[in-house]
Amino acid sequence: MSLFFIVALPFFGALLPGLMNSAGRAATAGVTFTVTLAAFIGLLTNLPSVLAGDVVMARIDWMPLLGLNFSLMLDGLGFFFALLILGIGLLIISYGRNYLSCDDNVGQFFTYLLLFQGAMVGIVLSDNILLLLVFWELTSLSSFLLIGYWKHLPEGRQGARMALAVTGMGGLAMIGGMLMLGQIAGSYDLSVILQNRELIQADPLYVPALILILLGCFTKSAQFPFHFWLPHAMAAPTPVSAYLHSATMVKAGIFLMARMWPVLSGTPEWFVIVTTAGLITMVLGSVIALFKHNLKALLAFSTVSHLGLITMLLGTGTAFGAMAAMFHILNHATFKAALFMSAGIIDHEAHTRDIRRLGGLRKLMPITFIVASLAALSMAGIPLLNGFLSKEMMLEEANHTVLFNTPWLVPFLATIGSLFSAAYCFRLIGHVFLGPVRDDYPAKPHDPGAGLWLPPAILVVLVVVIGIAPFLAEPFVKLVTASVLGEAAEVPKAYFKIWHGLVPALYMSIVAVVGGLIMLAVFKPSLRIWDALPRPEAKVIFEAIVESVATLARAIILPLHNGAFSRYAAIAAITMVAVGYHAWSTGTIAAPTRDMQPANAVAIGGWLMLVAATAGMVMMHRNRLLSLILIGIVGLMVSVGFVFFSAPDLAMTQFTVEVVTIILLLLALNFLPNMTPIESSVLRRVRDASIAIFGGLATFALSYHYMLRDAVTAPISEFHLANSYKGGGGTNVVNVILVDFRGFDTYGEIIVLGIAALLIYALTETLLGGPVRARLLNRKPDQKRAGNQHPMMMVVLTRGIMPVVLLVGFYIFLRGHNEPGGGFIAGLIVSIAVVMQYMASGFGWASARLRYPYHGVIGAGVLIAGFTGIGSWFVGKPFLTSDFTYVRIPPFEEFELATAALFDLGVFLAVVGAVMLSLESFSRLARQAGGPESEHAMEIDPSRDDPKEQAAKEAV
């Protein structure tokens, strides 16, 4: 099966359990098992080529320019880890099906599990280190979901957060390290990086890259001083712990160290850092584990200790060490998963996992006793079990390792670690299973169904088989070791066997086992000493660090981000002016290349009006109606300015937009207070005024300098002028740019406009559906209403003017391509004509005559514009290619037909719809407040029969 499928199966399969949640526990677990099994079988189909020593590759270029390619590779090492992940995954799934209770959301659990599994498989099969980073982060995220699966437990949430924080930070460091590594090697492909050992180790960036990558590995694999998150991740359901601790998550760091072994190892830096961290972790973990009373906590610290052991072996940098590490990964995965599942069984049956409350379970749970004891003895390093073999190899390797010029240091510490390791294993067996049967268990323990004990039992069979016949595992471990070593070293010749003769490792082993038994005998007094000793609590330290960082963040963010939007605006303005000033003062300013044009009286007059209106707005902004009138003057002067500076289209647009904006603001002002009260202090106003003046000066200086200089490179405007008629068939270059050259922009813009209008409509709906409606209905107008709301003169005038305005709109639309005009302006003009009807006769009257809803008009506009664009596909041209032709239909003159006109029609409709929908929404609010409306067009209508007059007539 292609490697892509193996990686993709868990991810796609993750959808199934979530969707099938209602189908029940058995079905969801079944489908999860099937998906994993499919990936597992897919992996096994690649076994022959892996055994033949080939590297299976699969590659799709994803972002080749960034060096990020979706390339996968399967060699011995990748196969080994994928086998562990999927194989133990299968056992965990069948165990989890029986372990989780009916109250748990099983579908969610298996979805998370499959996501996690997919991410892990992705890590071990990645050939591209950037891709590996993506999967690496995915494991952090999905393990966060898994650890915090029991959301109701505070320990679960805290443990998940801690795991995410620690592994996430490590991942961040690792991204830096990987990028450096890629820079040095000139490629992000592992297959290239692994070939460049000398180049990488000689580079000055080698040490920083090494440290950053190791930070990622150490956090993930819980190496000292980052070991503290792992025990807290225990709050997860036991199947998760068993999976995370045996085959996945924590093995990811180890995997990466093994993967990078050929290029990173062998230097003094690697040796000192990795071996020391591993040794400390091994000893510390085993000592703490001995004194833990919680069964899962004991196992968690033992995991920490064993990870330290493997790390130390990889740190030694010798081929034998690497081989021992690989062998121990295999053995640890088998016995640790079995032990975790056994711990879960005890917790499940006895309802406690406190060792002090257990004991004597040997008679009550014989099957669990056998399974757990064999696994624990293997962990303790008892002969004929697999743990003994790799521990022996570790001690052998330790014997040859000299750290800090002290030959006895490593062997001594390794023996101490093994001694405590044996001690906690013996304690596990002795204090949980042996001893008298008690009568105070929280629940009466008994052996569970086969669904729970079979998965660990399968693993224990492996433990025993490898332990008795190590030669069965030897070829496979050597194959894996070969792919770890790459071309950096030869696979050691040493054979796997139980009896190596009277070598130092054997004596160390004997010391460890005997010492472990003695430790157990003196457990009570040593526990008292341990409890009396002061020791740092990692969780407290971690939380103190997090709290201090959070305090710092709060101290910076809260003053800046305090909910006062005017403060944000001030900060933004000051920052922009400051940055602009910096650029201004550090850059160079070329001499002016253009002459200043003389100003005539008209221009000065317009300028004076604009300045006066703006100043008046600022001075009198408290009077809202007045400031609205003044902003109208400003808009008018801007439009006049556009006319003056040869932009007739802009002037028309600005002018019509001005009209609808003022109507809109008037509608809003209807509900708002008429005056703005004085609230800010003088100081505050001085501050704001200074910000405003500096901002104004800055834009003045920028635009003044800008206008007096020609563009540095020739602008593309010449192209548009030259091709407007030839290519676009229109003489109004602005309109041709809008509907043709940059038609795609315009298409996007009318969609944005339509969305804005729909947003306003939606907001209105929400307001009218909520408590605001009642408030509007009870609202008393703060000013006197007009006696005659719909005066006859206005009604008659707007009715008369309507066809004229529509005609003008039509004319403006048609001539747009060649003369100032076009869809935008025509749309605005037509909107104004319609709005006038609303104003004259009221909302009720006008909307009763509305034939097409405005949403539909917007939609039709966007669709017409879109289909015009798509139309060009049918003649094999790209989207929105325009075409035009000239036709002559007698008795008319020759005229032009252009597809651009159709596009412009779409623009026209979208603009009409958007403007009208916005204004209509505002008027709907007003209508709620205005009370019942008359259905007549005007209040006083002479043609309508007055009831009084009618009565008078009848009386005659």
Partner 1 sequence: MEFLVASAIGILTAGGLYLTLRLRTFPVILGISLLTYAVNVFLFASGRLTVGAPPILTKGVEVYADPLPQALVLTAIVISFGMTAVVVMIGLGAFLGADDDHVDDQPEGDDKAAEGAQ
Contacting partner 1 within 728-747 (CB under 8 A): 731-734, 737-738, 742, 745-746
Only one residue has tokens 């080749």, namely 64
756 binds partner 1 (CB under 8 A): yes
Please identify which residue in the block is written with the tokens 């069948």.
94
Binding window for partner 1 (CB under 8 A); candidates: 422-430, 531-539, 718-726, 781-789:
718-726
Question: What DSSP assignment string belongs to 399-421?
Answer: HT--BTTBTTHHHHHHHHHHHHH
- Report residue 743: phi and psi, to 5°: -60, -30
Q: Which stretch binds partner 1 (CB under 8 A): 69-77, 421-429, 600-608, 845-853?
A: 600-608
Question: Is the distance from CB of 112 to CB of 146 less than 8 angstroms?
Answer: yes
The minimum distance between CB 549 and partner 1, in angstroms, equals 18
Q: Please, what is the minimum distance in Å from the beta carbon of residue 785 to partner 1? A: 19
Q: How far is the CB of 877 from partner 1 (least distance, A)?
A: 22
Distance from C-alpha of 353 to C-alpha of 362, rounded to nearest angstrom: 15
Q: Which is nearer to partner 1, 676 or 788 (CB)?
A: 676
Restricted to residues 665-684, the positions that interact with partner 1 (CB under 8 A) are 665, 668-669, 671-673, 676-677, 679-680
Residue 596 engages partner 1 in binding (rule: CB under 8 A): yes
770 lies in the site for partner 1, by CB under 8 A = yes
Q: Does 452 bind partner 1 (CB under 8 A)?
A: no
Stretch that binds partner 1, among 292-300, 539-547, 894-902, 914-922 (CB under 8 A): 914-922
Closest distance to partner 1 from the beta carbon of 714 (Å): 12
Q: How far is the CB of 335 from partner 1 (least distance, A)?
A: 51
CB of 763 to partner 1, least distance (A): 5
Closest distance of CB 849 from partner 1, Å: 24
Closer to partner 1 at the Cβ: 52 or 714? Answer: 714
Nearest partner of 814 among 703, 727, 895, judged by Cα: 895
The interface with partner 1 within residues 785-814 (CB under 8 A) comprises none
Q: State yes or no: residue 691 binds partner 1 (CB under 8 A).
A: yes
564 is a site residue for partner 1 (CB under 8 A) = yes
* Residue number, 464 or 701, with CB nearest to partner 1: 701
Contacts of 558 (CB under 8 A, 6+ apart): none
Answer whether 256's CB lies under 8 Å from 274's CB: no
Give me the least distance between CB of 568 and partner 1, in Å please: 10
Question: How far from 399 is each of 218, 477, 503, 658, 870, CA to CA, in Å?
Answer: 24, 22, 10, 88, 76
Using CB under 8 A, pick the residue from 604, 793, 804, 850 that binds partner 1: 604
Which CB atom, from 233 or from 613, has the smaller least distance to partner 1? 613
How far the first Cα of the chain sits from its last, in Å, is 103
Complex with partner 1: residue 94 or 627, whichever CB lies closer: 627
Considering beta carbons, is residue 547 or 745 the nearer one to partner 1? 745
Q: How many CB atoms lie within 10 A of CB 51?
A: 13
- Residues 338-367, one symbol each (x = binds partner 1 by CB under 8 A, - = not), give ------------------------------
- The residue among 503 and 633 lying less far from partner 1, judged by its C-beta, is 633
Selected binder of partner 1 within 142, 219, 921, 923 (CB under 8 A): 921
Which residues inside 831-860 make contact with partner 1, applying CB under 8 A? none
Distance between CA atoms of residues 561 and 555, nearest Å: 10
Q: Cβ 764 to partner 1, closest distance in Å?
A: 7
To partner 1, the closest distance from the beta carbon of 157 in angstroms equals: 22
Residue 602 touching partner 1 (CB under 8 A): no
Whichever of 38 and 708 has its CB closer to partner 1, that residue is 708
Q: What type of residue sits at position 658? A: E
Q: Which stretch binds partner 1 (CB under 8 A): 64-72, 121-129, 244-252, 595-603?
A: 595-603
Residue in 2, 551, 562, 788 binding partner 1, rule: CB under 8 A: 562
Q: Which residues 6+ apart lie within 8 Å of 826 measured at CB? A: 809, 810, 812, 813, 816, 908
Least Å from the CB of residue 249 to partner 1: 36
Comparison of 107 and 635: residue with beta carbon closer to partner 1:
635
Q: Among the candidate windows 103-111, 442-450, 518-526, 921-929, which touches partner 1 by CB under 8 A?
A: 921-929
> Of 246 and 732, which CB lies nearer to partner 1 in the complex structure?
732
506 versus 667: smaller Cβ distance to partner 1: 667
CB of 581 to partner 1, least distance (A): 15
Measuring CA to CA, which residue among 866, 898, 895, 861 is closest to residue 880?
A: 866
Compute the distance between CA of residue 109 and CA of residue 92 in angstroms, rounded to an integer: 12
180, 513, 753, 826: which one contacts partner 1 (CB under 8 A)?
753
Task: State in angstroms the smallest separation of the CB of 683 from partner 1.
Answer: 13
Helix (H/G/I), strand (E/B), else coil: 324: helix
Q: How many residues does the chain have?
A: 956
- Provide, rounded to whole angstroms, the least separation between the CB of residue 587 and partner 1: 18
Question: What does the per-residue mask of binding to partner 1 show for 619-658, with x meaning CB under 8 A?
Answer: --x--x--xx--x--xx--x--xx-xxxxxxx--xx--x-
CB of 865 to partner 1, least distance (A): 13
Read off the tokens for 760: 């306003």
Q: Please, which residues have CB within 8 angstroms of residue 24's CB and are 6 or more apart in sequence?
A: none
Q: Which residues contact 299 (CB under 8 A, 6 or more apart)?
A: 241, 245, 289, 336, 339, 340, 343
- Judged by CB under 8 A, the chain residues 105 through 164 that form the site for partner 1 are none
Angle between helices 250-259 and 76-99 (to 10 degrees): 170
Cα 353 vs. chain centroid, distance in angstroms? 37
State the DSSP H helix or E strand holding residue 68, giving kind and residue range, or none if neither: strand 68-74
- Scanning 429-473, the segments in alpha helix (DSSP H) are 450-468
Taking every pair of Cα atoms in the chain, the longest distance, rounded to a whole number of angstroms, is 139
Distance CA 52, CA 638 (A): 80
Q: Which is nearer to partner 1, 65 or 714 (CB)?
A: 714
**Cβ 703 to partner 1 shortest distance, Å:** 4
* 598 part of the interface to partner 1, by CB under 8 A: yes
Instruction: Please enumerate in sequence order all residues whose Cβ is within 8 A of that of 160, keeping only pairs 6 or more positions apart, or say none.
Output: 144, 145, 147, 148, 233, 235, 236
Q: Which is nearer to partner 1, 526 or 818 (CB)?
A: 818
Least Å distance, CB 447 to partner 1, is: 55
Q: Which of residues 268-287 bind partner 1 (CB under 8 A)?
A: none
Quickly list H helices, 45-105: 47-51, 76-99
Member of 488, 573, 802, 860 binding partner 1 (CB under 8 A) = 573
Q: Binders of partner 1 among 490-549, rule CB under 8 A?
A: none
User: SS3 for 563-581, per residue?
Assistant: CCHHHHHHHHHHHHHHHHH
H or E segment to which residue 195 belongs: none
Site for partner 1 in 693-712 (CB under 8 A): 693, 695-704, 706-708, 710
- The secondary structure of 13-29 as a DSSP string is HTHHHHHTGGG-HHHHH
Q: Give the ranges where 247-267 is alpha helix by DSSP (H).
A: 250-259, 261-264
- What is the per-residue DSSP string for 221-251? TT-TTSTTHHHHGGGS-HHHHHHHHHTSTHH
Could you say whether residue 775 binds partner 1 (CB under 8 A)?
Answer: yes
Distance CA 910, CA 831 (A): 11
Number of residues in contact with partner 1 under rule CB under 8 A:
122
Upstream peptide bond of 225 is cis (omega within 30 degrees of 0): yes
In the chain, the amino acid numbered 77 is: L
Residue 238: CB minimum distance to partner 1, A: 40
